[in-house]
Amino acid sequence: MNVGFIGLGTMGAPMARNILNKGHRLVVSDVQPAAVASLTAAGARAASTPKEVAAASDFVITMLPDAPDVERVALGPDGIAAGIRAGSIYIDMSTIDPDTTRKVGEAIAAKGAAMIDSPVGKTADHAVAGTLTLMVGGAPEVIERCRPLLDCMGTDFFHCGTLGAGQTMKLINNLLATAVSEASIEALVTGTKSGLALDTMMSVLKTTMAWNNALAIALPKRPLTGDFNPGFMLKLAQKDCRLALAMTEKAGVHAPVGRAALASVDEGVRRGMQDDDVGVLLKLREEQAGVQVRAAR
């Protein structure tokens, strides 16, 4: 397949590389020349604008930081909509709000092309391994055409509904994940400050309704070893929680726990932790409590 990929950051670069490694022809674009150079060295072709990427591709993929970036890349004068061919498909794998997704989708449809949204779950390690979770929104027949590409990047596939439904699923997922992680961190730090051993807490929590994947996987993998290098940056968690809460407000749903989770993330960003892993909230609570919670090595 002729595939275009725009957005070669922490997640996008390994996703694009997996497409290339599966034998597809790839044209790439990014604001960082080094990211483009790395992919061209592996066999991709570079393009100077999103319009040029779209004109050369049957499938165009974006993996961008936020909704304004998607609008600019998709709808700008040199954007995807300006170059996309009739019959082609645009796949946005960014995490943005569903309203923007549907707005872009209308512009793409006006060009005789189609769009699906497929934000991803899990971490940069899973992006490298090609084992991401894919939350997909769009028409079934369009999605079916995209499956060979999506299967290059992920192993857990979920068709969530019409265009924008993937974004809705991703936002509620990330808001819940952030709230669960923060609550788990608060519990572990409080227990440690009160004299409990980490092993004891983990052993008890495994047997109760408090157990969750933050305790089982995310916290032991990095934060509880003292590693705060980004798998999923705190500033991206902030953006996702902000978008999710705007969505809950529009739906008329009160979300006091979600708002508390965003407040914790905002606190970490104000402390300069925005480029660290979201698990750096553990470090923030440790510093405030004057204790350190670490797994035995």
Q: Which residues are catalytic?
A: 170
Break the chain down into helix, strand, coil percent, rounded to 5: 55, 15, 30
Q: What φ, ψ does residue 5 adopt, rounded to 5°?
A: -135, 125
In the block, residue with structure tokens 């290098």: 229
Nearest to 218 by CA among 175, 245, 184, 243: 184
CB of 177 closer than 8 Å to CB of 115: no
Reported for 67-73, long-range contacts at CB under 8 A and 24+ positions apart, including other chains, are 67/94, 67/96, 67/97, 67/100, 67/243, 69/7, 69/94, 70/94, 70/96, 70/100, 70/101, 70/104, 71/100, 71/103, 71/104, 73/6, 73/7
Distance in angstroms (rounded) separating the CA atoms of residues 226 and 244 = 29
Measure the CA–CA gap between 184 and 282, rounded to whole angstroms: 9
Q: Let me know: does 154 contact 133? Beta carbons within 8 Å.
A: yes
Q: Supply the Cα-derived Rg of the chain in whole angstroms.
A: 20
Give, rounded to a whole angstrom, the gap between the first and last alpha carbons of the chain: 46
d(CA 194, CA 158): 42
CB count within 10 Å of CB 83 equals 21
Cα(190)–Cα(200) distance, rounded to whole angstroms? 13
